[in-house]
């Protein structure tokens, strides 16, 4: 027979797992948005491995080199866009590694079956709402 303490513990554990799932869902959505912005298809075989192994040096800030004349603005804009993409790439790479670490930790803590259920739920949510739509919905909620 279950006591009230057992039920409270189960409810607390379920709420804790839902928060973990929400965190993983938000992380996956950010990864999807970054991949979309960088025009990377992370679903292609080996794409994530290549992303993790790829080492880039960030572009210098656009004001690092001095240009004069009419090409100054064009080069500054080019450098700014390249730097922005480099920063998005570094964020994407870091978040993919973070996701791997979280999934590994959750699997060892809660078991592989519970982790698979959580991943399936997260994937279904992202597939249903879409990463770009989810980003718009998050911004709309946070601005209210």
In the three-class reduction of DSSP (H, G, I as helix; E, B as strand; rest coil), residue 43 is classed as coil
Query: Can you list the alpha helix ranges (DSSP code H) found in the chain?
Result: 4-37, 47-53, 71-110, 112-129, 131-143
With CA atoms as reference, report the closest residue to 17 among 89, 131, 118: 118
The pTM (predicted TM-score) of the whole model is 0.67
Between 68 and 52, the more confident residue is 52
Q: pLDDT digits over 72-119, tens only?
A: 555 555 567 777 888 888 899 999 999 989 889 888 888 888 888 888
Percent of the chain past pLDDT 70, that is, above it, reads 70
The whole-chain average pLDDT of the chain stands at: 76
Name residues whose C-beta falls within 8 Å of residue 25's C-beta, 6 or more positions apart in sequence.
Answer: 122, 125, 126
Q: What average pLDDT score do residues 18-29 get?
A: 87
User: How far apart, in whole angstroms, are the C-alpha atoms of residue 10 and residue 76?
Assistant: 57
For residue 143, pLDDT over 60 is answered with: no
User: How far apart, in whole angstroms, are the C-alpha atoms of residue 139 and residue 47?
Assistant: 29
For residue 125, pLDDT over 50 is answered with: yes
User: How far apart, in whole angstroms, are the C-alpha atoms of residue 50 and residue 66?
Assistant: 34
Specify whether the CB–CB gap between 52 and 96 falls below 8 A: yes
């Amino acid at each position: 027979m279950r006591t009230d303490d057992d039920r409270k513990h189960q409810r607390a554990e379920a709420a804790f797992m839902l928060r973990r799932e929400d965190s993983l869902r938000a992380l996956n959505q950010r990864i999807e948005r970054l991949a979309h912005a960088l025009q990377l298809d992370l679903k292609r075989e080996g794409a994530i491995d290549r992303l993790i192994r790829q080492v880039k040096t960030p572009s210098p800030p656009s004001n690092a080199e001095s240009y004069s004349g009419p090409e100054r603005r064009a080069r500054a804009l080019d450098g700014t866009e390249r730097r922005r993409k480099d920063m998005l790439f570094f964020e994407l790479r870091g978040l993919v590694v973070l996701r791997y670490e979280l999934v590994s930790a959750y699997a060892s803590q809660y078991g592989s079956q519970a982790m698979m259920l959580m991943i399936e739920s997260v994937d279904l949510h992202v597939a249903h709402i879409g990463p770009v739509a989810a980003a718009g919905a998050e911004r709309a909620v946070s601005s209210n």
